[in-house]
Structure 1
């Protein structure tokens, strides 16, 4: 396990570069993101450990990060002052572009993996916005009318976009549809099912192999998977075990049934959703997939707020960050069975 200390700044988001297996970015905030500056770290994995290649200071907290899919040196960050900034690590000091349209904190940014020419953001102001790095204003605004913690493009289709919000719903937007009164809203799926009460959804992710499966998690500590082909059937699988809110979930880029989670209970956990034993067909009745925890990594000493898989090399390497001012790089295979 490798470690880097983000001294004076509490980690909120971590992302491996999609171009280099030895480069990691961390979005961090002073004073736990409540007040003060932010810092974007660009870290390199070297034979001598993790070293800081560069960092950029910002006037407000940073909550999320996303690498450009078309430019190896560029990435966007989500800020607490409602701004979004595009940095180029080949340049010093200042962002190459900055946007200020959101009215409240921006909590997520996500690059389009298919078209590669746009990215999306979501905010506590109840909107999801779509941007181009070459345009000074947003391309499109999608209202959710509720505090929206996470938005993401489908990794399979450039026109599909999803979000999860404080109203305990998963929304799917189809940008091919006429905007009309629905503002491209194609589906609105309740995350909660009886006997569970509605609770804030904080994070979600598209499965990299099954193009209709999405995982969602949040304040009620449960991780749920849904098939958007059968929105009325409820969760495909429900994974229980975290003791506090789940802050981040992400599907493996190597295996279709494995995912990672990061939680306020100070652990990262690896799970299978049980789908490897199923047929993959659209469910016709109650969910029958039996998921389970495969292992956990308990080395953080404060809230764990970010986790990400390495896309390259042997499957299983990942990075996590948290409020303990630490970035940890570790092998999922080493914690399985614990």
Structure 2
């Protein structure tokens, strides 16, 4: 058994985990009482030290917390997406209260992301069918992007601050370009039907469900900035190249037994990603992009490289540490646990 650190969140079921972009010793967990159905939320700001994982600060909210994002401009600040439709900005150095409260969403805010390039805006998405772009210095949203149905996940392109992505209940991946005119489409430039069968034959044994299903998560590749991975209720992870939206998926990655809840591309390798699922597992994959191509089948089947099955409930969050040799990851689940472990060990054939 490889090394693993554990922290418990008694009375609170985690929904998201993020390493600090500034320190490898700081991590945060957004959580909710009663699995997020009813009750309050708690943000855990944690420090990793010789004594293991210690609480640095906690912040309680009146409603569930579904996602979080560290500020890209202040090492002590972070955002929380809340069940009452608000996004709250907390500062570890300021006791108790959010330093800002952004509240325009009409239903649960389920996702929040900070712009990694210009660092001066963040995005939130909600069950109310909108994405909102905010400045941390203003209470009113800068823009509202209509999606039209429950939007589970939003993100920024890692290389272009004007490009925002989203996935939602209607089984589409949407790309917005904020430089385009606000016409009837509200900056929508690309809309990819995730479940549409590819326009060419699939390799033998690779036949994912073609019925539309909710897309719960997506992530941009850190090295190939036109590649996005999606995952959701049909258990299949697909990657798309947004330069060629009609081409269908570039990779199909199958193996989870229940819905894929969270995805994260590695910040250390272009073909590696982690997925967390309601099947209580975390899986490490290659999308197949570094392997030899079978030209008869343009879609690459992804390959599972490792499996972590130490959670005993739905796994809801996963994140990579940006620092060090490049393999430490954090996972959280509804079993009231945060686990920190080394995916490099998994790549070397150790089991968790």
Q: How does the TM-score come out when normalised to structure 1? A: 0.97
Residue 209 of structure 1, CA deviation = 0.4
Residue 161 of structure 1, CA deviation = 0.4
Residue 285 of structure 1, CA deviation = 8.7
Please, which of 317, 323, 335 is the counterpart of residue 306 of structure 1? 317
Residue 277 of structure 1, CA deviation = 2.6
SS in 1 for 2:290: helix
Q: What are the equivalent positions in structure 2 for 1:100-115 lying under 5 Å apart?
A: 100-115=103-118
Query: Separation in 2 of the partners of 1:56 and 1:278?
Result: 49
Residue 286 of structure 1, CA deviation = 5.6
Q: Which residue of 1 aligns with 2:121?
A: 118
Please, which of 64, 69, 73 is the counterpart of residue 66 of structure 1? 69
Is 1:166 aligned to residue 161 of structure 2?
no
RMSD: 1.4
Is 1:262 aligned to residue 276 of structure 2?
yes
SS in 1 for 2:344: helix
Q: Name the CA shift for 1:68/1:285 in 2 (closer, same or farther; >3 Å).
A: farther
Maintained 8 Å contact 2:252/2:299: no
Q: What are the equivalent positions in structure 2 for 1:1-338 lying under 5 Å apart?
A: 1-194=4-197, 196-277=210-291, 287-336=298-347, 337=349, 338=351
Residue 27 of structure 1, CA deviation = 0.0
SS in 1 for 2:104: coil
1:139-180 superposed Cα distances (whole Å, 9 cap, x missing partner)? 000000011000000011010000000000000000010011
SS in 2 for 1:275: coil
Query: Separation in 1 of the partners of 2:276 and 2:83?
Result: 21
Query: Separation in 2 of the partners of 1:234 and 1:209?
Result: 20
Maintained 8 Å contact 2:89/2:99: yes
Q: Name the CA shift for 1:285/1:142 in 2 (closer, same or farther; >3 Å).
A: farther
Residue 276 of structure 1, CA deviation = 1.3
1:64-114 superposed Cα distances (whole Å, 9 cap, x missing partner)? 000011110111000011011000111100000001100101100000000
Q: How does the TM-score come out when normalised to structure 2? A: 0.93
Residue 287 of structure 1, CA deviation = 3.0
Maintained 8 Å contact 2:16/2:68: yes
Residue 278 of structure 1, CA deviation = 5.8
Query: Separation in 2 of the partners of 1:214 and 1:91?
Result: 36
Query: Separation in 1 of the partners of 2:292 and 2:149?
Result: 35
Runs of 5+ unmatched residues, structure 1: none
Maintained 8 Å contact 1:233/1:286: no
SS in 1 for 2:299: coil
Maintained 8 Å contact 1:79/1:106: yes
Query: Separation in 1 of the partners of 2:151 and 2:228?
Result: 16
SS in 1 for 2:301: coil
SS in 2 for 1:32: helix
